[in-house]
Amino acid sequence: MDKENVKKDLFVPAQKDEEKSEQINRPSLSFWQDAWIRLRKNGGAIFGMVTLVLLTLLAIFAPMLTSHGLDDQDLGLSRMPPKVQGLENFQWLGLDGKKSETFEADSVEEAKDLALARFSQDDFSYIEFDVKAEGDGSEDSAEVKAYYDPYADKQVEEYFWFGTDTLGRDLFTRVWIGTRISLMIALIAALIDMLVGVAYGGISGYFGGRVDNIMQRIIEVLVGIPNLVVVILMIMILDPGITAIIIALTITGWTGMARIVRGQVLKLKNQEFVLASQTLGSSNTRILTKHLIPNTVGMIIINTMFTIPNAIFFEAFLSFIGLGLQAPDASLGTLINDGFKALQINPHIMIFPAIVMSLIMIGFNILADGLRDALDPKMRE
Amino acid sequence: MENILEVNNLQVSFDTYGGEVQAVRGVSFNLKKGETLAIVGESGSGKSVTTRALARLIPSPPGRIKEGEILFDGKDLAKLSDKQMQAIRGKDISTIFQDPMTSLNPTMKIGTQIMEGLIKHQKMSKSQAKERTIELLELVGLPNPSERVDQYPHQFSGGQRQRIVIAIALACNPKILIADEPTTALDVTIQAQILELMKDIQKKTDSSIIFITHDLGVVANVADRVAVMYAGKIVEIGTADEIFYNPKHPYTWGLIGSMPTLDNTEESLVAIPGSPPDMLNPPKGDAFAPRNDFALEIDREMEPPMFKVSDTHYAATWLLHEYAPHVEPPEAVKRRMKGFASTGAASNGEGDQS
Amino acid sequence: MAKYILKRIGYMLITLFIIATFSFILMKMLPGSPLTAEEKVTEAQREIILEKYGLNDPIPVQYVRYLGNLAQGDLGVSFQMKNQSVTDILMSRAPVSAELGFWALIVGTSLGMLLGLIAAIRQNSWMDYGSNIISVIGISIPSFIFAGLMQFYIGVELELLPIAFWGTPQQAIMPVIALAIFPMAISARFLRTEMIEVLGSDYIVTAKAKGVSKFAIIFKHGLRNALIPLITVMGPMAVSLMTGTLVIEKIFSIPGIGEQFVNSVTTNDFSIIMGTTLFFAFLFIVIILIIDILYGIIDPRIRLAGGKD
Residue C40 pLDDT grade (very low, low, confident, very high; cuts 50, 70, 90): low
User: What is the predicted pLDDT for the residue at B353?
Assistant: 37
Using DSSP's 3-state secondary structure scheme, residue A362 falls into helix
Q: How far apart are CA B104 and CA C206, in angstroms?
A: 7
Asked if A171 and A83 touch (Cβ cutoff 8 Å), the reply is no
Q: In the 8-state DSSP scheme, what is residue A140?
A: T
What is the reported pLDDT for B346? 46
Are residues C144 and A347, on separate chains, in Cβ contact within 8 Å? no
Confidence at residue C119, expressed as pLDDT on a 0 to 100 scale: 92
Where does the pLDDT of residue B352 fall: very low under 50, low under 70, confident under 90, or very high at 90 and above?
Answer: very low
Q: Do A226 and C266 touch (CB under 8 A)?
A: no
What's the confidence (pLDDT) of residue A183? 93
**Residue B266 — pLDDT band, cuts 50, 70, 90?**
low
CA distance B220 to B229: 16
Question: What number of other Cβ atoms are within 10 A of residue B308's Cβ?
Answer: 11
Mutation pick from C210, C297, C298 vs chain B, by most beta carbons of B within 10 Å, is C210
Let me know how many helices (H) and strands (E) chain B has, helices first.
12, 12
Q: How far apart are the first and last CA of chain A?
A: 39
B281 part of contact set with chain C, CB < 8 Å? no
Neighbours of B99 (CB within 10 A): 18
Instruction: For residues C299 and B77, give the distance between their C-alpha atoms in angstroms, rounded to a whole number.
Output: 38
User: Is some CB atom of chain B closer than 8 A to the CB atom of A10?
Assistant: yes
Backbone angles phi, psi at C152, to 5 degrees: -75, -55
Q: Nearest to residue C75, comparing CAs of C281, C284, C276, C303?
A: C276
Map residue A45 onto helix, strand or coil. helix
pLDDT, residue C305, reads 44
Which pairing describes strands A99-105 and B3-16: parallel, antiparallel, or unpaired?
Answer: unpaired
Phi, psi for residue A327 in degrees, rounded to 5: -55, 150
Residue A27: the pLDDT is 62
Distance CA B164, CA C93 (A): 56
- What pLDDT is attached to residue A46? 92
Contacts of A344 in chain C (CB under 8 A): 152, 156
Q: How far is A9 from chain B (nearest CA, A)?
A: 8
What is the chain B residue with the closest CA to C302?
Answer: B154
Q: What is the pLDDT of residues C253-270, one digit of tens each?
A: 999 998 888 888 888 777
Nearest in space to C276 (alpha carbons), one of C101, C25, C24, C89: C89
Positive or negative torsion for Cα C181, C183, C184, C185 = positive
Q: Buried (b) or exposed (e) across A70-92, using 16+ Cβ within 10 A?
A: bebbeeebbbbbbbbeebbeeee
Alpha helices in chain B, H assignment, sequence order = 47-54, 82-88, 110-121, 126-139, 145-148, 158-170, 188-205, 216-222, 240-245, 250-257, 297-301, 331-343
Question: What is the per-residue pLDDT for B303?
Answer: 79
In DSSP notation, A223-278 reads HHS-HHHHHHHHHHHSPSSHHHHHHHHHTTTHHHHHHHHHHHHHHHHTSHHHHHHH
Instruction: Say if residue A226 is preceded by a cis peptide, omega within 30 of 0.
Output: no
Residues of chain A with pLDDT under 70: 1-8, 11, 14-29, 90-93, 120-124, 376-381
Whether C50 shows a pLDDT value over 80: the answer reads no
Q: How far apart are the first and last CA of chain B?
A: 30
pLDDT at B347 over 50: no
Spatial distance between the Cα atoms of B124 and A125, rounded to a whole number of angstroms: 86
Distance separating alpha carbons of residues C279 and C97, to the nearest angstrom: 13
Sign for the pseudo-dihedral over CA of B299, B302, B306, B307:
negative
| DSSP single-letter state for residue A149 | -
The pLDDT assigned to C174 comes to 93
Cis bond before residue A328 (omega within 30° of 0): yes
Contact assessment for residue A293 and residue A254, using Cβ atoms and an 8 Å cutoff: no
Do A322 and C262 make contact, defined as CB atoms within 8 angstroms? yes
Torsions phi, psi of A365, nearest 5? -65, -45
- Parallel, antiparallel, or unpaired: how do β-strands B208-213 and A142-148 relate? unpaired
CB-nearest partner of A11 from B278, B300, B325:
B325
Q: Is B164 on the interface with C (CB under 8 A)?
A: no
Cβ pair B82:C299 closer than 8 A: no
Q: How confident is the model at residue C306 (pLDDT cuts 50, 70, 90)?
A: very low
What does the DSSP 8-state code read for residue A287? Answer: I
Nearest-10 Cα torsion for C266, C267, C271, C274:
0
Q: What is the pTM (predicted TM-score) of this model?
A: 0.80
Q: Which residue of A has its CA nearest to B305?
A: A1
Is the CB of residue B94 less than 8 Å away from at least one CB of chain C?
Answer: yes
**Nearest chain B residue (CA) to A15:** B297
Per DSSP, the residues of A307-332 read HHHHHHHHHHHHHHTT-S--TT---H
pLDDT at C35: 55
> Can you tell me the distance from the alpha carbon of C153 to that of C133, in angstroms, rounded to the nearest whole number?
22
What is the DSSP secondary-structure string of A87-121? -TT-GGGT-BS-EEEEEEESSHHHHHHHHHHHH-S
- Residue count of chain C: 309
Q: What is the mean pLDDT of chain C?
A: 83
Burial status of residue C53 (CB atoms within 10 A of its CB: 0-12, 13-18, 19 or more): middle
Radius of gyration of chain B (CA): 21
The confidence score (pLDDT) of residue C84 equals 81
**For residue C22, what are the contacts with CB-CB under 8 A and spacing of at least 6?**
A233
Mean pLDDT of B326-333: 76
The percentage of chain B sitting over the pLDDT mark of 70, rounded to a whole number, equals: 93
- C-alpha distances (whole Å) from B122 to each of A40, A312, A325, C174, C221 are 52, 60, 71, 53, 20
Shortest CA distance from B18: residue in chain A: A381
**At A173, which helix (H) or strand (E)?**
helix A171-207
Cβ separation B105–C206 shorter than 8 A? yes
Closest-CA distance of chain A to residue C141, Å? 5
Q: Tell if the CB–CB gap between C209 and B55 is shorter than 8 Å.
A: yes
3-class SS of residue B149: coil
CB distance B316 to B304 below 8 Å: yes
Q: What is the pLDDT of residue C300?
A: 64
Distances (CA, A) of C267 to A146, C246, C263, C275: 39, 16, 6, 15
Q: Do B82 and C228 touch (CB under 8 A)?
A: no
Instruction: List the single best residue of B54, B60, B86 to mutate versus C (max C Cβ within 10 A).
Output: B86
Contact C136 A365 (CB under 8 A): yes
- CA-CA distance, A312 to B107, in Å (whole number)? 40
- The CA distance from C290 to C303, in Å, is 14
- What amino acid is encoded at B206 in this protein? D
Q: Which residues of B touch A10 (CB under 8 A)?
A: 296-298, 301
Instruction: Output the CA–CA distances (angstroms, integers) from residue A32 to A118, A268, A297, C17, in the order listed.
Output: 60, 19, 11, 46
Query: ipTM of this complex > 0.85?
Result: no
Q: CA-to-CA distance for C134 and C186, rounded, in angstroms?
A: 10
What is the predicted pLDDT for the residue at A357?
A: 93
Work out how many CB contacts closer than 8 A connect A with B. Answer: 57
Mean pLDDT score of chain B, rounded to an integer?
Answer: 81
Check whether C224 has a pLDDT greater than 60: yes
Residue C104's pLDDT band, with cuts at 50, 70 and 90, is very high
Q: B344 vs C47, which has greater pLDDT?
A: C47
- Compare CB distances from A13 to B275, B281, B296 and report the shortest one's residue: B296
pLDDT value at position B97?
85
- Cα–Cα distance, A108 to A277 (Å, whole number): 87
Cα–Cα distances in angstroms (integers) from residue C8 to residues A152, B24, C20, in the given order: 68, 53, 18
Q: In the predicted model, what is the mean pLDDT of residues B188-193?
A: 79
Q: Could you give the CA distance from residue C209 to residue C213 in angstroms, rounded to a whole number?
A: 10
Residues of C in contact with B61 (CB under 8 A): 124
Q: Which chain A residues contact residue C149 at CB under 8 A?
A: 351, 354
- Write out pLDDT tens, residues C141-189: 998 899 988 988 888 888 888 888 888 888 889 999 999 999 999 999 9
